[in-house]
């Protein structure tokens, strides 16, 4: 793409780095911003900077939060005996939307992927073991996507957790999740959490 301005080119390059944004869409977004009032574009910029600088990750569950401990972990009415393990904050939002789960979460911040060089130590797993060892959770729900990485992670966590005195379950399979928990419709996802199954029973003996 030929640009009439270096500034324009730089801005388009930045937008092109975002997932799902090609150079044509990036150009359209930048031209749109150029048509906005200066203070609106400033507000857009400072909102992104504030987000990056001030966002925290809950010290208990690892979820994205404005406070050291997130609203879900701090809520007095949540069932602290249930811990739902998910890949990232998008899954927390998707499961919260179903209104079928009142326990706590644990956000791994990724999945084990030998292909991408992501091992257990790159994920929020040590904190999960600590939480389980505290004796508070009675049941751990492994709500990970049914991909190869998801299954590898579930099996790894199962081996790490099976000797604790807890129940380990997974969200029901056999339902089409559309590949990703965040895309599953609310009823399907809600039902799969309610009808979760004991993980050990799903393993071939």
Interface residues toward Zn ion, by CB under 5 A: 58, 60-61, 63, 70, 73
- CB pairs under 8 A, 24+ apart, for 55-60? 57/107, 57/109, 58/107, 60/104, 60/127, 60/131
**Closer of 38 and 54 to Zn ion (Cβ):** 54
**Closer of 12 and 70 to Zn ion (Cβ):** 70
**Closer of 70 and 132 to Zn ion (Cβ):** 70
Q: What is the Cα–Cα distance from 69 to 47, expressed in whole angstroms?
A: 22
Smallest separation (angstroms) from Zn ion to the CB of 106: 8
Q: How is residue 173 written in tokens?
A: 């399979």
Q: What's the gap between Cα 141 and its chain centre?
A: 15
Q: What's the longest Cα–Cα distance across the chain?
A: 66
Smallest separation (angstroms) from Zn ion to the CB of 58: 3
Smallest separation (angstroms) from Zn ion to the CB of 104: 7
**Closer of 61 and 157 to Zn ion (Cβ):** 61
**Closer of 8 and 64 to Zn ion (Cβ):** 64
Q: What is the Cα–Cα distance from 170 to 190, expressed in whole angstroms?
A: 13
Q: What is the Cα–Cα distance from 143 to 178, expressed in whole angstroms?
A: 14
Smallest separation (angstroms) from Zn ion to the CB of 53: 20
Smallest separation (angstroms) from Zn ion to the CB of 62: 7
């Amino acid at each position: 793409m030929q640009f009439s301005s270096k500034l324009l080119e730089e801005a388009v390059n930045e937008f092109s780095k975002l997932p799902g944004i090609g150079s044509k869409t990036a150009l359209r977004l930048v031209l749109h911003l150029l048509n906005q009032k200066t203070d609106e574009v400033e507000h857009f910029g400072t909102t992104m900077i504030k987000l990056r600088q001030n966002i925290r990750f809950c010290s208990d569950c690892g979820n994205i939060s404005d406070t050291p401990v997130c609203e879900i972990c701090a809520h007095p009415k949540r069932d602290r005996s249930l811990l739902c393990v998910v890949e990232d904050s998008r899954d927390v939002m998707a499961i919260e939307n179903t209104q079928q789960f009142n326990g706590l979460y644990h956000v791994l911040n990724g999945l084990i992927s030998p292909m991408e060089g992501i091992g257990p130590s790159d994920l929020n797993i040590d904190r999960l073991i600590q939480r389980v060892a505290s004796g508070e959770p009675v049941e751990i729900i492994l709500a990970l996507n049914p991909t190869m990485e998801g299954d590898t992670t579930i099996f790894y966590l199962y081996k790490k957790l099976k000797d604790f005195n807890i129940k380990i379950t997974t969200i029901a399979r056999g339902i089409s999740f559309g590949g990703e928990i965040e895309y599953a419709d609310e009823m399907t996802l809600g039902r799969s959490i309610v009808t979760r199954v004991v993980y050990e029973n799903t393993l071939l003996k």
